[in-house]
Amino acid sequence: MDRAIFTLRQLALVAGDLTVFLLSLALAVWLRNVIGEAHLTFSSHLPSFSAIFFFWLVAFYVLDLYDLTATRSAIGVFRNLVSSMAAAAALAIAFFYLTPGIGIAPKTTLFLDLATTTVLLLAWRLVYAKFLRSSKLRMRLVFVGLTDEARELIRELGTRPELGLDVVGAVAFDGSDAPGIPVRRSTAGFAEYLKTERVSTVVLATSPRSHPELARELYDCIFLKISFVDIVNFYEQITRRVPISAISHIWFLENLQESRKRLYEIAKRGLDFAGALALGTVTVVLTPFIAAAIFVTDRGPIFFSQERLGRDGHVFRVRKFRTMIVDAEKDGARFAEKNDSRVTAFGHFLRVTRLDELPQCLNILLGEMSFIGPRPERPEFAKTLTMDMPYYPMRLLVRPGLSGWAQVSYPYYATPEEHRLKLQYDLYYVKNRSLVLDSVTALRTLNTILHARGQ
């Protein structure tokens, strides 16, 4: 519910941007007619510019312009907007001057449109940023129960004001505390307390069934028109991962109903096959240049292959361009690390740009992998991780991917704690996978590549 509000605010930002695009085009056409005494019409420009507007929206998403954390300051808004409009200008110029049959000569109109869009977009973004910071729009929350997940959410909400959620208090039955918020030890007079604090949402981290007094107090709150949400669902909405406390046999039976994913799996396989054919063409073209660079900078094999676990535990060999030194595992297999010293200078470039992954198009064509899915793990590592996390094999219900929800949600996974976090993201993907989530993951992967955040 609250995540939906966050998404609604992002959609409002998209709608505002699109309105600015249309208004700017109308203004640019009008100025062109005034300055050049031309007789251009808005309707004649709209079809071709509509394609540009679509590309701009995608580019803005990839460049984090719809990350609401970027609206916290005027300087941040201006900096992000300038870089994004530079990319937008490049896309527009490429489209109009490289696409045949446009039917108009938009040189002056395009310049005027880019100028007016930049000015109006900056004004709109600053107004919207101020709008988001308004206290009247913020929702006030109270947590009932202070579990580990509850405290984690309280900390996260404190660092993400763009969500518009303020935690004003909590009720704890075990004597625990939460930093920065008042904690009640009893639910006596709970209805009056919620009314006084103007609470709109109560997050239940403790089941009312285990506290009869709590059940009675919550019953008295029915007429206050307050939302009551279970912490498991709320945690998933806010963090986009599955809480550790929720992972159980029952959770899998209730949430992983694979029969409902059959049409999605068919559609995804078709898209994977078509995309892998296109990627294969790119791979064939680039391979001689990458191979030469690998050989010149670090004499040794061009390709690197390893056994990985695929769907349903099937073992296959993954193929990549080699990015590490020869004999990188002469002392035994170990997880790759952040800023790993075994990675060569050119290998670092390949990893940052994700070019090392190109040979895996063959794995996708063979149906061993997908473009989007959990990262394929080595069998020996999966065995160790399963000992620590018994439900780890459940991520093998789907094909592994070149990129995945876990990879774009957290920079790197090395420690046992980070691998537990990775499992939470992977299970979220397995439960909620869809073409929409795959598209979002693909765009965030592109964002990672453009910002050189790969490891």
Give the H or E element holding residue 316. Answer: strand 315-321
CA quadruple 179, 182, 183, 184: dihedral, nearest 10? 180
Phi, psi of 196 (to 5 degrees): -65, -40
On the 0-12 / 13-18 / 19+ scale of CB atoms within 10 A, 325 is middle
Beta strands in 250-300 (DSSP E): none
When the pLDDT of each residue in the chain is averaged and rounded to a whole number, the result is 84
Tokens describing residue 290 = 């990458």
How far apart CA 349 and CA 330 sit, in angstroms, is 23
State the maximum Cα–Cα separation within the chain, in Å, rounded to a whole number. 79
Q: For residues 128 and 56, is the Cβ–Cβ distance under 8 A? A: no
Phi, psi of 316 (to 5 degrees): -140, 170
Q: Is the per-residue pLDDT at 1 higher than 60?
A: no
Residue 332 pLDDT grade (very low, low, confident, very high; cuts 50, 70, 90) = low
CA quadruple 396, 397, 399, 401: dihedral, nearest 10? -60
- 227 pairs with which residues across the strands? 201
- 372 pairs with which residues across the strands? 403
Three-state secondary structure of 168-229: EEEECCCCCCCCCCCEECCCCCHHHHHHHCCCCEEEECCCHHHCHHHHHHHHCCHHHCCEEE
Please report the pLDDT score of residue 260 as a whole number.
Answer: 81
Q: Is the per-residue pLDDT at 336 higher than 70?
A: no
In terms of pLDDT, which residue wins out, 174 or 107? 174
Give the H or E element holding residue 401. Answer: strand 401-403
pLDDT digits (tens, 9 = 90+) for 277-313: 999 999 999 999 999 999 888 888 889 888 999 999 9
pTM of the model: 0.80
Residue 126 pLDDT grade (very low, low, confident, very high; cuts 50, 70, 90) = confident
Q: Is the per-residue pLDDT at 225 higher than 90?
A: no
How far apart CA 96 and CA 49 sit, in angstroms, is 9
Three-state secondary structure of 325-388: CCCCCCCCCCCCCCCCCCECHHHHHHHHHCHHHHHHHHHHHCCCCEEECCCCCCHHHHHHHHHH
pLDDT digits (tens, 9 = 90+) for 185-220: 887 888 888 988 899 899 998 888 877 778 888 888
How far apart CA 373 and CA 353 sit, in angstroms, is 19
Q: Minimal CA–CA distance to 428: which of 410, 447, 406?
A: 406
**Domains in the chain, start-ordered, CATH in brackets?**
2-132 (no CATH), 138-239 (3.40.50.720), 258-450 (no CATH)
Q: Is the per-residue pLDDT at 351 higher than 90?
A: no
User: Any idea how long the chain is?
Assistant: 455
How far apart CA 327 and CA 330 sit, in angstroms, is 5
pLDDT digits (tens, 9 = 90+) for 65-88: 887 765 556 676 777 788 788 888
Residue that is written with structure tokens 């919620």 in the block? 194
Please report the pLDDT score of residue 42 as a whole number.
Answer: 86
**SS3 (DSSP) at 38:** coil
